[in-house]
Amino acid sequence: MKKPIHQQLTLPFAQTIIIFLIMVFVLLDLKSGAMKFQWSEIFAAFQHPESTSIPAIAIMQVRLPMVIIAMLAGSGLAVSGLLLQSVTQNPLACPSLSGIEYATAFSVILCYMLDPEISRAAIMMIALSGGILTYLLVQWIAKRTGASSAGITLIGVAFNSLYYSAIQAILIAFPYQSQAILYDLNGSLIGVTLADIQFIILPYLLLITGVLLLSKRMDLLDMDDAHATALGLNIRKYRSIMLGVAILLSTLITSLVGPLLFFGLAVPHLVRPFARGTQAVWCCAILGALLLLIAAYVTQMLAPQTPPPIGLVMLLMIAPILIVIIQRYRSYDEN
């Protein structure tokens, strides 16, 4: 059924506004911070990135990586949350409530505690393994117990509690590193370098491209197995691929910036009423990027010298959204 003309025009207009705001907050994030620079100094830094001047070093080596990773993390986690909700048909599914984020964070923290000189590649591989194994274990327990969608969420929360307790034990065992661990545990863009971004950008682009190519058939996820089989569709294979992409995206981002709790839950719920399929993926990506850029700007405004973890600011921003989601599904039961 063809959409009304006003709906066809509203979505592209909203996307244009979001992209415009992304460009605005990219510039604001580059300008804000402990050191204040003129716009001319920012543009000069991009014209001469190899310059050894203070503005060029601060912008190209500190602020630019933060801006890029904010966009990558925001879009990646939002798309991951959308895929998890679509594949599992669970409106509460997200990396935060599936045990994935804390499993990845625990793996990264444990790596640093055991070997501070460990390479980024090794950390990424261990983090990916931790996140994937945890999600598979959650699904195995859910299958053995016959848990519903809400039950699967509770199992994921249980694993989050387990990993959170393990992280607290590490904090007690290594008190001198506890401050840095606590900061990273709440989501942080501080310390991300262009080398880190270069390491993850290729797998990130491959995963996002794969999602966009597969999203044309995302409506098939609403079909049950019997109906899909009758139509000759291998829906299980499609779900497995989309699920794998969602887990890889969330673990990839979390291994670099730490957990951003409930971010992947809230953003898809903002998009779902207005977009489906490829449009939903695209809207989640740009809206997620915008929200994290705004959060990064707010942290710089609150405390330029020692900005708070971006995850805490983000939680304050999306708290009203989470309340609306809870109200919408307050009557959701295990049947």
pLDDT at 218 over 90: no
At residue 74, the pLDDT reads 94
Mean pLDDT confidence for 205-219: 85
7-11, 85-89, 264-268 — which is least confidently predicted?
7-11
% of the chain with per-residue pLDDT over 90 = 20
How high is the mean pLDDT of the chain? 83
159 in Cβ contact with 134 (< 8 Å): yes
DSSP annotation of 186: T
Q: Where does the pLDDT of residue 281 fall: very low under 50, low under 70, confident under 90, or very high at 90 and above?
A: very high
What is residue 228's predicted lDDT score, i.e. its pLDDT?
61
Element (H, E) at 39: helix 39-47
Average pLDDT over residues 225-241: 69
Selected residue with higher pLDDT from 301 and 172: 301
Residue 67 has pLDDT above 90, yes or no: yes
- Total length of the chain: 335
Measure CA of the first residue to CA of the last residue in the chain; give whole Å: 31
Asked if the model's pLDDT at residue 34 lies above 50, the reply is: yes
Give the model confidence (pLDDT) of 124-151 as tens digits: 788 888 888 888 888 888 888 887 766 7
The percent of residues above 70 in pLDDT, for the chain, comes to 88
| pLDDT (0 to 100) of residue 224 | 63
- The confidence score (pLDDT) of residue 149 equals 67
State the Cα torsion 75-79-81-86 to the nearest 10°: 160
pLDDT of residue 244: 84
Q: Which domains does the chain have, with CATH numbers?
A: 70-328 (1.10.3470.10)
> What pLDDT digit, counting tens, does each position of 314-331 carry?
888 888 887 877 776 655
pLDDT at 69: 94
- CA dihedral (194, 195, 200, 203) in degrees, to 10, reads 110
The band of 230, judged by pLDDT with boundaries at 50, 70 and 90, is low
Asked if 18 and 286 touch (Cβ cutoff 8 Å), the reply is yes
Question: For 157-195, how does the pLDDT look when each residue is reduced to its tens digit (9 = 90+)?
Answer: 888 889 888 888 888 877 776 666 777 777 888 888 888
Angle at 214 between CA 210 and CA 220, to 5 degrees: 155
